[in-house]
Chains A and B, each alone.
Chain A
Amino acid sequence: MLTLFLILFPVVAATLLLIIQGEKTKQVALVAALIELALAGYAFVGFKPDASSQFGFDYAWISSLGIRFSAGIDGISVLLVLLTGLLVPFIILSTFNRDYPRPSLFYALMLYMQAALVGVFTARDGFLFYFFFEAALIPIYFLAAMWGGANRIPVTFKFFVYTIFGSLFMLLALVYLYYQTPATATSAHSAAIVDFYKLNLTPEAETWVFWAFFIAFAIKMPVFPFHTWQPDTYVESPTPATMLLAGIMLKMGVYGLIRFILPIVPLGVETWGKTAVILSVIGIIYGSIIAIRQRDMKRLIAYSSFSHVGLMAAGVFSQTETGMQGALVQMLAHGINVVGMFFVADVIFSRTKTNQLDQLGGITQTTPKLTVFFLIMLLGSVALPLTNGFIGEFLLLHGVFTYNNYLGLAAGFTIILGAVYMLRMFQKSMFGPTSSRTESFADLTSSESWVFIPLVVLVFWIGIYPHSFLKVTEPAVANMMKYIGTTAVSMK
């Protein structure tokens, strides 16, 4: 029941926001998001660490076809539900110094987006998953295209068509899987994801189902070479939408890899997994190298996100327990870090009206608070020990190394290259002589500080005591490994 509440509450809150259209839209939206956070926190705390699905809700949606509105939280989804609940209040809080036109629509769309994201992470029916997967696109598209930058219309349009195109293949794969399932008591087939796990597909079918899913998720994440929509979209979107995209939405793709590809088509992963890992590793290095050359902060963070998500994909495709665990923790960590980084970019932009690194510099002279917070978020991003990024990347790299030493070595460059582009950004923007735009740079206001403080706490919490997060995912991941052909690899 709690799951249903988690999905429905933002919908109701957003609809009320639209209908009432009051003065204090921001505050109401923030309160709604905080209530959602409390619910998600309750789900996280109350989650019994085993492989079962909890807080579930199940209702016959299209009974004649055996399609059910079935949602629940298990060890794979619990961190993502927490992440969704956690980030949205901060994203809303980060807009408190900005006035977006038509605020009620703006915040309502964000809450609709949140509902769809929770739906994606908790769906236990294949078609329900697809339903939310697509439904999440609509609010984010409008957010990006209505409040975005000058070039927003073609850019967001490309994003929309590209991602829909990918997910249509997933729809085909889902329908195919559905027709392979045996009859249930009430209908001829079943769309429950766990029933998909039990299927024995032919090798040819596994291959094409693998690719159908992979293209859908690879576009969403994005994995090289499906990433061309991403940097432009991140740059042109208003910062809150970028935070939603980078912080939560790209995790839909990684989540899909773990939830669908690995357990449903283990043979396909066995055959094509290496190709996928190689593509991901190419993405890691390629994204990092481009990030080093960027002059625009938002674009740099976009490419860094592209590089990081490549590592997550590689870790998942390593088919090891550590790789999957690492991906789950890294999704949480990356969400926190990337929202922090984009918020830094937004703070700088709101004061200087530019994100171009060569026009910035010397900000640190007047801003002790911003400097400290920026540095901590940055160190989390470059995976310094004791920060959250370290835990995730370490586990992921361990997984990739177990899979293949050479690929692991190549993926390991992410830490070095990541440090290069992140520190370069920090140096160019914060140190050096002040420019005309940064001379009178005001330090963080209290509402801005309150965005950073909890994020910083989380950076250290995950970095120092990751067990509190790893323990909830562990049983579910171990259970997932049963469906994967190469259990032997993880035993080493």
Chain B
Amino acid sequence: MLPIVLLSVFGIALLFLGFLKSKAVLLPAALLFLIITLGVNFLDWNKTYLYFNDMLRTNNLSMVFTAIMLGSAFMVVALSSSFINDESAQPAEYYALILFSLVGAVMMVSFENLIMLFVGVEILSVAMYVLTGSDKKNLRSNEAALKYFLMGAFATGIMLFGMALLYGATGSFTIAGLAAYTDHPQTGLSLLIYVGLLMLLIGLLFKVSAAPFHFWTPDVYDGAPTIFTAFMSTVVKTAGFAALFRLLSVSFGGVYTFWWTILAIITALTLVAGNITAVYQTSFKRMMAYSSISHAGYLLIGLSSLGTQTKQAIVFYSLAYSVATIAAFGVLILVSQQRSTQTITSEGILTENFDAFNGLARQNPLLGFAMTVSMLSLAGIPLTAGFWGKFYMFSTAVERGQIWLLVVAVLMSAVGIYYYFRVIIAMYFRDGATEPIRVAPFFQYVLLGAIILTIGLGIAPGLLQGLF
């Protein structure tokens, strides 16, 4: 509970800090607040508590997810140093919104009551709508925010409807109450349960951009300022999957036979839609949007073959995915800021295309290496954390004997290598701009940290063992 309180207080504090003349204090303050929250988060380690009249339950798993999200937020904020030089930017508001959205995210990973889940989703989403549209003068940013808001509101509505139906069927909003009801299916479950569960799932699957609810993702990820795309594609996804996991494993384990086929089909659809479409992108940022859809697919493998390994698989995968994604977006931010002038054409912002990376590794070995490690990790090549993420996911499916799903996943992994390697090829083997990109020292540390984490977990995945 402390993280929720602290994040709220710190968010307000940041808003007040915004009144100061100097913007320079905001970034360190936001980082400090996140670090404090991260430390406080672990105070309850190995204990389970219920808070707010049994509305929230914190346990080790929720703390681990909270830590992953706070860590991701820390990295994202650390990469946002360019706001200082941007006249129109409002860093105080941005950082405050990030902290507020984290409050929602923490609620989503530790809810005990469906109401809390709904409140968490809303807090997170509303903050994200605003951040998406924060580049006020950019048409694409506005369009993205509007799309995200309209479709997101619709999805939340469906989700709420589902919760109401579940309440109608069981008379309870708590996940324990739902579990008590579904665990004894011999009494004959009401149809409302199934319809309610489906609607609830649709709402959450929309948030994690699973097919066929993914159509908003490319436009929103593409239109939003890159730094918030990084935030969106990591924190929102982690929170969404933590919520899905808690919901499905605790409340609906009893009706596994009902939902696993549906979820498995959605998984396969997501994998195919994400990976195949990513191949045809010319914009790196848009490719990353489709790649995030495909990773939602891999994460869904763990859910649709829910078993003893799922928890570990989801934790590891979301960590590996978040670190790699943020590092990749970090490099993209530098490249698109400093490569030529921003020219907007019908094909998108040219500096965000694959071609913008041409020759990058020769001028900036560190940026090239960070990007390479991220891409290898996202592609799931050994020596990187992403490999073990995929490994754990595939293990869950093998444990459940879902061979057809695995075959789809393997084929799509091979497709994935194709588009991730386009960046590497551009950086190492093509000739491009000759002047190196300036990288702030702090930026370098974040990228170095991401590299070390990705390779470290790739060589010694056992390091995380204590967390499970």
Contacts and interface: CB of A to CB of B under 8 A. Distances in A.
Interface in A43-63: 60-63
A145 B428 contact: yes
Listed residue (A135, A168, A175) with the most chain B CB atoms within 10 angstroms of its CB: A168
A179 B307 CA distance: 13
Contacts of A60: 462
B428 A62 contact: no
A64 B462 contact: yes
Contacts, number: 74
A61 B458 CA distance: 11
B395 interface: yes
Contacts of A165: 414, 417
Interface stretch (B36-44, B159-167, B289-297, B375-383): B375-383
Contacts of A164: 381, 413-414, 417
Interface string A341-368: 0000000000000000000000000000
A179 B401 CA distance: 10
Interface in A140-198: 142, 145-146, 152-153, 157, 160-161, 164-165, 168-169, 171-172, 175-176, 178-179
A290 interface: no
A286 interface: no
B410 A168 contact: yes
Contacts of A160: 417, 421
B417 A135 contact: no
A179 B308 CA distance: 13
B431 interface: no
A161 B391 contact: no
B399 to A, nearest CB: 6
A175 B425 contact: no
Contact of B462 (A63, A137, A157, A169): A63
A138 interface: yes
B157 interface: no
B425 A62 contact: no
A164 B395 CA distance: 18
Given A145-B429, A171-B391, A161 B381 contact: no
Contacts of B410: 168-169, 171-172
B468 interface: yes
A130 interface: yes
Contacts of B382: 130-132, 134-135
A64 B425 CA distance: 37
B421 A157 contact: yes
Interface string B373-403: 0001000011100010001001100110000
A109 to B, nearest CB: 12
B43 to A, nearest CB: 25
A101 to B, nearest CB: 10
B324 to A, nearest CB: 16
Interface string B423-445: 00100111000000000000000
Contacts of B421: 157, 160-161
A196 to B, nearest CB: 14
Contacts of A179: 395, 398-399
Contact of B394 (A61, A135, A142, A172): A172
B465 interface: yes
A171 B394 contact: yes
Given A131-B382, A134-B382, A157 B414 contact: no
Contacts of A161: 414, 417-418, 421
Contact of A134 (B381, B399, B406, B428): B381
Contacts of B468: 64
Contacts of B395: 175, 178-179
A146 B428 contact: yes
A175 B465 contact: no
Nearest to A175: B398
B460 interface: yes
Contacts of A157: 418, 421, 425
A172 B406 contact: yes
Nearest to A64: B465
B386 to A, nearest CB: 12
B461 interface: yes
Contacts of B413: 164, 168
A169 B418 CA distance: 17
A182 to B, nearest CB: 15
Contacts of B414: 161, 164-165, 168
A131 B391 CA distance: 11
A64 B309 CA distance: 11
Contacts of A169: 410
B394 A138 contact: no
B158 to A, nearest CB: 36
| CB-CB nearest 3 A-B residue pairs | A165-B414, A134-B382, A168-B410
Interface of A: 60-64, 127, 130-132, 134-135, 137-138, 142, 145-146, 152-153, 157, 160-161, 164-165, 168-169, 171-172, 175-176, 178-179
Given A62-B465, A175-B395, 10 more contacts: A63-B462, A132-B382, A138-B383, A153-B430, A161-B417, A168-B410, A171-B410, A172-B394, A172-B410, A179-B398
